[in-house]
Structure 1
Amino acid sequence: MIFDRKNLTDNQLLDLYKRILKPRLIEEKMLILIRQGKVSKWFSGIGQEAISVGVTAVLDSDEYILPMHRNLGVFTGRDIPLYRLFSQWQGKVNGFTKGRDRSFHFGTQQYKIIGMISHLGPQLGVADGIALANKLKKNGKVTAVFTGEGATSEGDFHEALNIASVWELPVMFVIENNGYGLSTPTNEQYRCENLADKGKGYGMESHIVDGNNILEVFNLLSELKASMKKNPRPVLLEFKTFRMRGHEEASGTKYVPQELMDMWAIKDPVENYRKYLTENGVLTTDFDAALHAEIKKDIDESLAIANAEPEIEASLSEELNDVYKPYVFEQVNPSEEKENIRFIDAISTSLRQSMKRHDNSVIMGQDIAEYGGAFKITDGFVAQFGKERVINTPICESAVVSAGMGLSINGYKAIVEMQFADFVSTGFNPIVNLLAKSHYRWLEKADVVVRMPCGGGTQAGPFHSQTNEAWFTKTPGLKVVYPAFPYDAKGLLNTSINDPNPVLFFEHKQLYRSVYQEVPKNYYTIPLGKAALLKEGNQVTIISFGAAVHWALDTLAKNPEISADLLDLRTLQPLDTEAIFASVKKTGRVIIYQEDSMFGGIASDISAMIMENCFKYLDAPVKRVASLDSPIPFTKALEDQYLPKGRFENDLKELLAY
């Protein structure tokens, strides 16, 4: 191994030695604790320390790093007190996740480290969002994100690199190519000679680096960082290294040929660097011994602190309260001045007024800039707010949602437009596993609104007509809003953008240009979780949302003899159970009307809640009316059969006659 100190001083060389030695000594202690059963899980980075240490040493303390579970050198390099790391690994209260997640699955704004999720890929898109925020701030900061060679096969890897290249984002994409994805060798993972070659496909600068040579890592990255500050751009870095331990300790390394282990043992990054410093008179035996003693003392003392901490006691209220970031609703009352506008105009006006109100807001989506979006909702936005805040995205929903999370982490509000709600399936993972769980896991908000043009009635077929709210109402940590009227759409979207929690905002396409209403011209807000009682009666409670609210109104208009409470939920998560139960207790009969297919829809949960809480008040079984349990078809005759509009009136009358 050839080391080139270039212009580094002896003190700089010794600082790098301290940095690389510390995680190695911690790891050695962890292996002892694993054998003693005092740590439940450990993902070793022995043999790879030079990469984590080098990247962290190059970046400023206020520049974000997104590591993985083998990057202890990132955490020690940011000088996190060791007792906090030990507490995290033991699931103690002084850790970073209150015992809710393990090992390195956490982040900390204090140290500008953003932890991974086990799905790996989304953190690459998060880095894009963080870098985008830095670019908007014009602060010259660089972001570094780690991944392994195995995760380069994920779609998120390709999406994130493409976005970073197209948007010219200052991101260091760090690939630790350590030979194996768990037990699968690289020759079973990809066919290109070097992963760095993939950079060419994105028009991206790339480098192959000896990941075991701390000086090569440090010197190259120092040059790149200085260059990226002057010329913001992404860089793909493939670090050749090797994993000397198992994927995690329990898996072992029996699948690795011994000659490979022997070859890489010779390339040990710590021992080779120590030898170089010693031979060149930079490191003395006494200093080395003193440094070992100092680090080991810190380890032992920190372990004692963590061991002395009591085990976490379960608190039901704390667990539930931490699912969402606390948010105090800000009431802004509507003005007297109104205008008669369509549903689509209410959405557009809300976005305009919210972007004026929040100069840290960014809207992203396919074709939303000059073209104005598939439904022309953002037409004219570029002229008003500029292309920096109204951003066309490539067709890559997963990375765009993840980038929204990155924007939130770095102080922005992100609004993501799905061209159609159906397309959210390709962005599903970061929504349900990243946005939804971040506050619960490590108290980090996900200030992202995902707008969802949805619904049938337009003969658009199986891929453009779904109303898929039930995919998300099931997931704790998400809020789900589904208005039926322009007035509600404007006020609820304003509130959703104010709310620092992730919101799925459903907009029924058939309502866009068919429903008009007198809507206040000014900016105003409506609280989430409050249903609207549209009609009052005493015979039956009709519970609905979205386009089905209008279908219910049509049915009641045809049958004026029916005395019904019509409850428009408006928000599905949080759900206004108080209004639901009050109405059911009054009428004794309830029918739940949804456009989604029957099985697994939110009507099923509402029905169960009513049965559990209002059973003694019921005069008839709870009735659900929904679309067929099939994909939504294209031709009008088939779509009409699929949708519940033709069945609701008969089912309502049967319920009244029970």
Structure 2
Amino acid sequence: MTFDRKDKSDSALLNFYKRLLYPRMVEEKMLILLRQGRIGKWFSGIGQEAIAVGSTMAMQAQEYILPMHRNLGVFTTRDIPLRKLMAQWQGKVTGFTKGRDRSFHFGTQDYKIIGMISHLGPQMALADGIALADLIEQKEKATLVFTGEGATSEGDFHEALNVAAVWNLPVIFLIENNGYGLSTPINEQFKCKNLADKAVGYGIEGMQIDGNNILEVYDTINSVADAIRKNPRPILIECLTFRMRGHEEASGTKYVPQELFDEWAAKDPLKNFEQYLLEQHVITETLVQEIRTSFKAEIETEVEMAFQDPEPVADIQTELNDMYSPYQFEAVEPTDSVSEMRYLDAITDALKTGMTKYKNLVLMGQDIAEYGGAFKITDGFVNEFGKARVRNTPICESAIVGTGLGLSINGYKAVVEMQFADFVTCGFNQIVNNLAKTHYRWAEKADVVVRMPTGAGTGAGPFHSQSNEAWFTKTPGLKVVYPAFPYDAKGLLLAAIDDPNPVMYFEHKYLYRSLNGNVPSGYYNIEIGKASILKNGTQLTIITYGLGVHWALSYLDLNPDISATLIDLRSLQPWDKETVATAVKTTGRALILHEDTLTCGFGAELAAWISEHCFKYLDAPVMRCASADTAIPMSKTLEDSFLAKSNLADTVKHLLAY
């Protein structure tokens, strides 16, 4: 291993050494604690510390780094106290996640570090969003994101690099190629000779370096970061290294040939750098021992202090509250100035109002810029707000949702359009595991709205007509709204944009151009979680939302002899339990109507809650009227038969006759 100190002073080299030694000694302590049974799990980075330490030293203190679970050196080099890290690893209340998550699965704005989730790849898109915010603000900053050679096989890797390339985002994508994804060797993971060669496919620069040479890592990252601050663009860096322990300690290393251990032991980043500094007379054996003695005492003290920190105290209300970022809704009443709008135009008006109110709001989606979106909702937005804030995206739902979260982390708001709600499956992980859990895990908001053009009625078939709201209503941390009228569409979308929490905003495609209503001009909002009572009656309560509201209204208009209370939920998470309970107690009968399929549709939750909390007031079983438990057919004849509307009259008749 050849080291080139360039113009680095002796004191600078000594600092490199200390930064490299400290995480190694912490790891050695963790392995002792593991054998003693005082900790339960450890992901070792022994053998590849030079990458984490060297790259972190090369980044500016206020630039974001997104590491993996083997990058202890990132955290120690950013000077996070070991006691705080140990408390995190031990699940103490003083840890970054208060005992709610493990290892390095956390972020900290104080140190500008955003940790990973177990799915490996998603944090690369977060780096895109963080860098995009800097780019829009014209800040000369770089963002560094780590990934492993195994995660380069994931779609998230491709999507994040492609977005960064297309948008010229100043992101350093750093691959730690340590030879194995858990036990799978690289020859079973990818066919290309070098992972750095993947860069050419994205039209970006790629390079391969010795990840065990701390000076080479530092100089490379320092040079690259400086270059992309001035000329924003992504760069891919493959760092060759090796982990000398198992994937985690319980995994062992029996799958690794001994000759590989022998080869890489000779390339140990710490031993080689220490020997180089001894030869350069930067350090002495005596100084090395003094440093080690000092570090050992510090580590012992910090670790034992963390062991004395309190354990979390379980309080379910605290846990429930912490699923969401604190937000106090402030109602803004509409103006007296109203105009008749289509449902679609009310959404457009809300987006324009939100973009005007929030200069840090970015819209992202496929074809939303010059083309104006598949349904023309954002037509003309580019001319009014510019391409920096109205962004066409590649076809990559996962990366764009992740980019939205990255924007939020770096001080922006995001509205992401799914061209069709059906396509959200490709971004599902980012929504249910990143957006939904971020605040609970480390108290960071996820200020993202995901627009979901949804529903049937247009004969679009199984992949453009699904009602998939129930996929999200059962996921803690998400808010879900579903307006049925133009007035509500605007007010709820503005409320969703205001709210710093992730909101799934369902908008029914069939209503876009078929439904008109009076909509106030300017800004107003509707509180998420508040239902609307459209009719009051005495015989039964119909609880519905979305297109189901219009089915119910039409049915009741055709049957004026039926006296029904009609509730439009408007919000599905949270939903208005008080309004529902009051109505059911009054009428004694409850019918839940929705467009989604019957089994495990959101109506099942409503029915269970009503049965549990309103049972003594019921004169009949709670009944559901939902669509058939099949995929959605294209043929109008088949679609009409599929939809819940076809069963509404019989269900009401059955309920009233009970």
Shorter-chain TM-score tier: over 0.9
Matched, 1:581 2:581: yes
C-alpha displacement at 1:288, in angstroms? 1.6
**Aligned partners of 2:94 and 2:310 also within 8 Å:** no
Q: Which structure 2 residues correspond to residues 426-575 of structure 1 after superposition, within 5 A?
A: 426-575=426-575
* Alpha-carbon distance in 2 for matches of 1:471, 1:406: 23
**Code of the aligned partner of 1:36:** Q
SS of 1:243's partner is coil
Q: CA deviation at 1:311?
A: 2.1
Report if aligned partners of 2:494, 2:524 keep a CA contact under 8 Å in 1.
Answer: yes
Q: What is the alpha-carbon distance in structure 2 between the residues aligned to residue 226 and residue 457 of structure 1?
A: 54
- Corresponding position of 2:242: 242
Aligned to 1:656: 656
Structure 2: distance between partners of 1:409 and 1:153: 26
Counterpart AA for 1:41: K
Give the Cα separation in 2 of the matches to 1:138 and 1:305: 43
Q: After the TM superposition, which residues 144-543 of structure 1 pair with which residues of structure 2 at under 5 Å, given as runs?
A: 144-543=144-543
Residue 406 of structure 1 aligns with an amino acid whose one-letter code is G
CA–CA separation in structure 2 for the residues paired with 1:624 and 1:229: 58
Aligned partners of 1:73, 1:320: CA distance in 2, in Å? 34
Gaps of 5+ in 2: none
* Letter matched to residue 386 of structure 1: G
Give the root-mean-square deviation of aligned CA atoms. Answer: 0.6
**3-state SS in 2 of match to 1:522:** coil
> Given residue 6 of structure 1, which amino acid in structure 2 is its aligned partner?
K
User: Aligned partner of 1:614: which letter?
Assistant: C
Alignment-mate amino acid for residue 557 of structure 1: D
CA positional deviation for 1:318: 1.2
Q: Distance in 1 between matches of 2:174 and 2:402?
A: 18
Report the AA paired with residue 177 of structure 1: N
SS of the equivalent of 2:436 reads helix
- Over residues 125-169 of structure 1, what are the superposed CA-to-partner deviations in whole Å (9 max), with x where a residue is unaligned? 000000000101111110000000000000000000000000000
% identity of equivalent residues = 64
Report the 3-state secondary structure (helix = DSSP H, G, I; strand = E; otherwise coil) of the residue aligned with 1:395: coil
Residues 390-430 of structure 1: CA distance to partner in whole angstroms, max 9, x if unpaired? 00000000000000000000000010000000000000000
Q: Name the amino acid aligned to 2:374.
A: A
How far apart, CA to CA, are the structure 2 residues paired with 1:19 and 1:41?
24
Q: CA deviation at 1:462?
A: 0.4
Amino acid at match of 2:413: K
The code of the aligned residue for 2:477 comes to G
CA–CA distance in structure 2, aligned partners of residues 528 and 79 of structure 1: 41
Residue 77 of structure 2 aligns with which residue?
Answer: 77
Whole-Å Cα distance in 2 between the matches of residues 518 and 228 of structure 1?
50
State the shift of 1:608 in Å.
Answer: 0.4
Q: CA deviation at 1:225?
A: 1.4
Query: Is the partner of 1:255 in helix, strand or coil?
Result: coil
Cα shift readout 1:445-482 (whole Å, capped 9, x = no counterpart): 10000000000000000010011000000100000000
Which amino acid is the alignment partner of residue 569 of structure 1? L
Distance in 2 (alpha carbons) for counterparts of 1:280 and 1:654: 91
Secondary structure of 2:572's aligned partner: strand
Deviations 1:216-255 (A, max 9, x none): 1111111111111111110000000001000000111000
Aligned-pair CA distance for 1:286 = 2.5
- Alignment match, 1:132: 132
User: Scaled by the length of structure 1, what TM-score is found?
Assistant: 0.99
3-state SS of the aligned residue for 1:414?
Answer: strand
Deviation at 1:305, TM superposition (A): 1.1
Q: Displacement of 1:650 after TM fit?
A: 1.6
Secondary structure, aligned partner of 1:30: helix
SS in 2 for 1:567: strand
Q: Quote the offset at 1:285 in angstroms.
A: 2.1
CA deviation profile, 1:44-83 (whole Å, cap 9, x unmatched): 0000000000110000111000001000000001000110
SS in 2 for 1:480: strand
Distance 1:458 1:310 in 2: 58
Residue deviations 1:299-318, cap 9 Å, x none? 11111211111222211121
SS at the partner of 1:61? coil
Distance 1:297 1:233 in 2: 44
Give the 4+ runs in structure 1 shifted more than 3 A. Answer: none
- Residue 19 of structure 2 aligns with which residue? 19
2:351, 2:212 → 1: CA distance?
A: 50
2:543 alignment partner, SS class: strand
Q: For 2:606 and 2:588, locate their aligned partners in 1 and report how far apart those are by CA, in whole Å.
A: 15
Q: CA shift at 1:436, angstroms?
A: 0.3
The one-letter amino acid of 1:274's match is E
Q: Secondary structure at the match of 2:505?
A: strand
Deviates more, 1:297-306 or 1:264-273: 297-306
| Aligned counterparts of 2:143 and 2:229: Cα–Cα separation in 1 | 11
**Structure 1 spans left out of the alignment, 5+ residues:** none
* C-alpha distance in 1 between matches for 2:188 and 2:419: 36
State the partner residue of 1:606: 606
Which one-letter code corresponds to 1:483 in the other structure?
Answer: P
Q: C-alpha separation between the residues in 2 aligned to 1:45 and 1:644?
A: 56
Shift of 1:287: 2.1
User: Which residue identity is paired with 1:407?
Assistant: L
* CA shift for structure 1 position 495: 0.4
- Tell me, in whole angstroms, the C-alpha distance in 1 between the residues paired with 2:312 and 2:421: 41
Distance of 1:344 and 1:526 partners within structure 2: 18
Q: Distance in 2 between matches of 1:339 and 1:495?
A: 20
Cα distance in 1 for partners of 2:317, 2:462 equals: 42
Partner of 1:92: 92
Superposed displacement of residue 292, structure 1: 1.1
Give the whole-Å Cα distance in 2 for the aligned partners of 1:222 and 1:122.
Answer: 25
Which residue does 1:630 correspond to in 2? 630
How far the C-alpha of 1:9 sits from its partner, in A, is: 1.4
Helix, strand or coil at the partner of 1:457: coil
How far off is 1:15 after superposition? 1.0
The more displaced of 281-290 and 565-574 is 281-290
SS of corresponding position for 2:5? coil
Give CA deviations for 1:239-284 in whole Å, capped at 9, x if unaligned.
0000100000011100000010110000000000000000011112
Aligned mates of 2:613, 2:221 — CA distance in 1: 62
Deviation digits for residues 83-124 of structure 1, max 9, x if unmatched? 000111111111100101011111101100001000111100
Residue 608 of structure 1 aligns to a residue whose secondary structure is helix
CA distance in 2, matches of 1:335, 1:601: 37
SS state of the match for residue 131, structure 1? helix
Distance 2:378 2:296 in 1: 59
* Aligned-partner Cα distance in 2 for 1:30–1:120: 23
Distance 1:647 1:501 in 2: 37
